[in-house]
Chains A and B, each alone.
Chain A
Amino acid sequence: MNSRLPFLLLIFVLVAIGLSSIYYRHVHTGVPLTPGQRIDVWQVEADISFTGTGEPATVALNLPRDSQFELMEEFTASPAYGVNVTRDEQHSKVVWSKREVQGPQTLYYKGSYKAALNPKDALPPAEQPEPPLLAEPYQSSAKAVLDEAISKSGDTETLVQQVISLINSDDQNVAMLLSRHSRSRTFVLLMQHAQIPVKLVRGLQLEDERRNQSLIPLVKVYLNDEWRLFNLSRVVLDQENPLLIWLEDQPYLLDVVGGEDSSIKFAISKFRSSAVREANHVANQKSWGFGLYSLPIAEQNLFRSILLLPIGALVVVFLRILVGVRCSGTFMPVLIATAFIQTELLNGLLGFSLVVAAGLVIRSYLSHLNLLMVSRISAVVIVVIGIIIAFTVFAFKMGLTEALTITFFPMIIMAWTIERMSILWEEEGAREVLIQGCGSLFIAVIAYLLMDNSLVRHWAFNFLGVHVLIMAAILMIGQYTGYRLLELRRFKHLS
């Protein structure tokens, strides 16, 4: 038992590595578990215009810091401006600068955002500032509104709702406050007086094919350990579409020094993109996010098929050790299965059987010629090529273009298969040839069905941890000393 401990430890380590790598790829990189998943990507374009006054100009645009969204890529377009994008703990902004600016100017910022995979929890509110003392009569109006709301409510949540409904009503005191402040500002003042954490934010309604949009003022209230968003402006929000919080904890959106008449407009468009591609796009930008997607397409495609072989190997191990299927050649079925992927199953089965059958007939003649083994197999290789040419030309003349894929079969493997089958025939009889031939084809078909499955292909290529798990499984099966399924029938009289 002692000697099993390192082995079990190895298995445990492999399983842990495999599972955690799959977890990481899915949860952190965002590779979806099923193929063909698509995600929404929002492209937001900020269009800044101002008039230069002939002095040096500096334009700072604060960028969104919304934890619900993840930035994928961003561009700026600005002729002859120096551009600097800063992202740190406090700031994320883009700053354009130019020595001498004259006349109307236009600057562009374009960013692609997707919904964040694992939104970070928002920070709890910092120390609230003392509520500002308002000039009379606004101070008493605010107190009256608040008192009324408190009298009608039981807890903080209902208090917030009461304040909102009061602001929306035609209460005299509210009207007094609204004459001086905006609706959102009024709400914030009232909340501050009620000692409820609150902040004013500005958000962008994301909707496809929208131009000339502006930020919408909104308020966030800290209720029950989370920030809740409320809309007090008269703009109606579309609940179907998400909201990108652009400004939060930042004093301004746009700061133009050395220009006048500045304005900013947003244009939004949506496109759907492959979730795998976007996930790997983001992963590749991280320094250690190396992966198969960083390779050129040709190498990627090569690995796509190479990474299917472990799946086939697992099928062979499973069917031979646990089930006890007999086949000719250890991994010949896997190679046949890879050929099936090119040829499609039915064509492949038919073509393979035809070539092997024809090969066996010719091989039986070769065995009369009394040849040395190496020349005999070489002769079989040439015969196989001949058979394949003959079948292909014949099929083409007959108009059966499906049969042309027969060329995908590996010639050397076919020749060896024919050679083995033929020796088997001479030594053990046709029955054994049939058993092993059918066994090989059975394993090949099972392996093909798995290797051709789009989910399996997706996992094999995108989650390399799967192969570590397969490794662990194969090692485990390698120490299996129990009965094979077919032995249960073989030994049926012994139970």
Chain B
Amino acid sequence: MFDLAKPKALRQNGVMGMNQRNLSYVARYNDRRLYPNVDNKVRTKELALEEDIAVPHLLGTVQYQHDVKAVFDLLPKSAGFCIKPASGSGGKGILVILSKDENGFKKASGSYVQEQDIIRHVSNILAGLFSLGGDADVAMIESLIEFDPIFDGYSHEGVPDIRLIVFKGYPVMAMLRLATHASDGKANLHQGAVGVGLDICTGNAVSAVQHNELINTHPDTGKELGTISIQNWRALMTLASRCYEVSGLGYLGVDLVLDKARGPLVLELNARPGLAIQIANQRGMLPRLQEIEALKLKRPHLVDRRVDWVIDRWS
């Protein structure tokens, strides 16, 4: 009547629910002490750089309200940039400027903003408007990512990113998130972005969903989604896997972007990654998590062994 799934069928397919994620994975494998490693993006970036993990270049940070005007010293003369809160979540409070001309700063959407708008955005960030607990925050200015053209035509306005779930260092599931007109250029699935499930071993598209329904083509551009295949997938797997050592978190969401020149970059890490990835992949995540939990190793696998193990087991 209400078009509900049977709990038994879901359990058979290994679908993980929110309660189980919170209790059996996030609470069990993610030490609270380590949350600042991922909740504060400046810190994530420092940790990643120590491990030689590629991240978008940090141009500088603004920490105090009276320094707000100094933000213009940090901005590049001609290239695009991006201002984001260090403790934001879910893509909140990110301002992307593509270029600067006589009309002002050009946003990704094509509209223009002025210097005072940028100042207001920075002070909103400092006041904690976008941070998790509403605490005072730091604004980060990053250089703009030159998106790899392989996604041209797949994403409306926004940033296509790749989310991998990494469990105890093993990549478990992956999806490509494409912004749509409905999602207002944001890559959040619950706002209407398209989620394309990717085979964890090959990086080839398996299925695609929008608003919880299966689709074959991008709703705005009409491009076929089933043919998507990420080049050099093993490099992405390795990068995501290394984030386990960076963050120390057992159950981790890794967001990657593909830069034209620099290749895959780690955009941000997430200690409470959502469950929509199961819908995009049309399969449950639990069997794989449980397989990894059941692993009995004398000495933990290193990054390459982990990636090999995943490809070996699940291809």
Contact (Cβ within 8 A) A490 B279: yes
Given B130, B191, B284, which contacts A428 in the complex, CB threshold below 8 Å? B191
Contact (Cβ within 8 A) A494 B283: yes
Give 1 or 0 for each of A210-223: 1 = CB within 8 Å of chain B CB.
Answer: 00000000000000
Q: How far is the CB of B152 from chain A (nearest CB, A)?
A: 27
Given B17, B92, B93, B209, which contacts A487 in the complex, CB threshold below 8 Å? B17
In the complex, number of A-B residue pairs with CB atoms less than 8 Å apart: 88
Q: How far is the CB of A228 from chain B (nearest CB, A)?
A: 60
Contact (Cβ within 8 A) A479 B17: no
Residues of A within 8 A of B128 (CB): 373
Give 1 or 0 for each of A481-495: 1 = CB within 8 Å of chain B CB.
Answer: 111110111111111
Given B4, B90, B134, B278, which contacts A494 in the complex, CB threshold below 8 Å? B278
Which residues in chain B, 261-296, are within 8 Å of chain A measured between CB atoms?
Answer: 278-279, 282-284
Residues of A within 8 A of B279 (CB): 490-491, 493-494
Q: How many Å lie between the Cα of A324 and that of B23 in the bound state?
A: 15
Closest to B278 in A: A494
Residues of B within 8 A of A271 (CB): none
- Asked if A1 is at the interface of the complex by the 8 Å CB criterion, the answer is no
- Asked if B2 is at the interface of the complex by the 8 Å CB criterion, the answer is yes
Contact (Cβ within 8 A) B15 A491: yes
Contact of A484 with B18 at beta-carbon distance under 8 Å, contacts A491-B5, A494-B13 already known? yes
Contact (Cβ within 8 A) B5 A492: yes
Q: How far is the CB of A293 from chain B (nearest CB, A)?
A: 40
Q: How many Å lie between the Cα of A483 and that of B19 in the bound state?
A: 7
Residues of A within 8 A of B212 (CB): 490, 492-493
Which residues in chain B, 13-58, are within 8 Å of chain A measured between CB atoms?
Answer: 13, 15, 17-20, 23-24
Name the residue among A373, A489, A495 with the largest chain B CB count within 10 angstroms.
A495
State which of B71-79, B119-127, B225-233 sits at the interface with chain A: B119-127
Closest to B21 in A: A481
Give 1 or 0 for each of A298-335: 1 = CB within 8 Å of chain B CB.
Answer: 00000000000000000000000100100000000000
Q: How far is the CB of A474 from chain B (nearest CB, A)?
A: 14
Q: How many Å lie between the Cα of A295 and that of B20 in the bound state?
A: 44
- Asked if B9 is at the interface of the complex by the 8 Å CB criterion, the answer is yes
Contact (Cβ within 8 A) A481 B19: yes
- Asked if B206 is at the interface of the complex by the 8 Å CB criterion, the answer is no
- Asked if B184 is at the interface of the complex by the 8 Å CB criterion, the answer is yes
Q: How many Å lie between the Cα of A372 and that of B64 in the bound state?
A: 12
Given A373, A428, A480, A483, which contacts B7 in the complex, CB threshold below 8 Å? A483
- Asked if B6 is at the interface of the complex by the 8 Å CB criterion, the answer is yes
Residues of B within 8 A of A372 (CB): 65, 123, 127
Q: How many Å lie between the Cα of A488 and that of B17 in the bound state?
A: 9
- Asked if A370 is at the interface of the complex by the 8 Å CB criterion, the answer is yes
Q: How many Å lie between the Cα of A437 and that of B17 in the bound state?
A: 23
Given A321, A429, A479, A489, which contacts B5 in the complex, CB threshold below 8 Å? A489
Contact (Cβ within 8 A) B24 A481: yes
Q: How many Å lie between the Cα of A479 and that of B279 in the bound state?
A: 25
- Asked if A427 is at the interface of the complex by the 8 Å CB criterion, the answer is yes
Q: How many Å lie between the Cα of A485 and that of B24 in the bound state?
A: 19
Contact (Cβ within 8 A) B10 A494: yes
- Asked if B95 is at the interface of the complex by the 8 Å CB criterion, the answer is no
- Asked if A438 is at the interface of the complex by the 8 Å CB criterion, the answer is no
- Asked if B3 is at the interface of the complex by the 8 Å CB criterion, the answer is yes
Contact (Cβ within 8 A) A321 B284: no
Residues of B within 8 A of A150 (CB): none
Give 1 or 0 for each of B78-112: 1 = CB within 8 Å of chain A CB.
Answer: 00000000000010110000000000000000000
- Asked if A423 is at the interface of the complex by the 8 Å CB criterion, the answer is yes
Closest to B209 in A: A493
Contact of A494 with B5 at beta-carbon distance under 8 Å, contacts A480-B19, A481-B24, A482-B20 already known? yes
Give 27 CB contacts A-B under 8 Å. A324-B18, A370-B124, A372-B65, A372-B127, A373-B127, A373-B129, A423-B129, A427-B92, A427-B93, A479-B23, A480-B19, A481-B17, A482-B17, A482-B20, A483-B19, A485-B4, A487-B18, A489-B2, A490-B212, A491-B278, A493-B213, A494-B5, A494-B278, A494-B282, A495-B5, A495-B6, A495-B9
Query: 4 shortest A-B CB distances, which residue pairs?
Result: A495-B9, A495-B5, A481-B20, A483-B17
Interface residues of A (CB under 8 A from B): 321, 324, 370-373, 376, 423, 427-429, 479-485, 487-495
Q: Given contacts A427-B93, A489-B4, could you give 14 more A-B pairs where the C-beta distance is less than 8 Å?
A: A324-B18, A370-B120, A373-B128, A376-B127, A480-B19, A481-B23, A482-B7, A488-B6, A489-B5, A490-B212, A491-B278, A492-B5, A492-B212, A494-B283
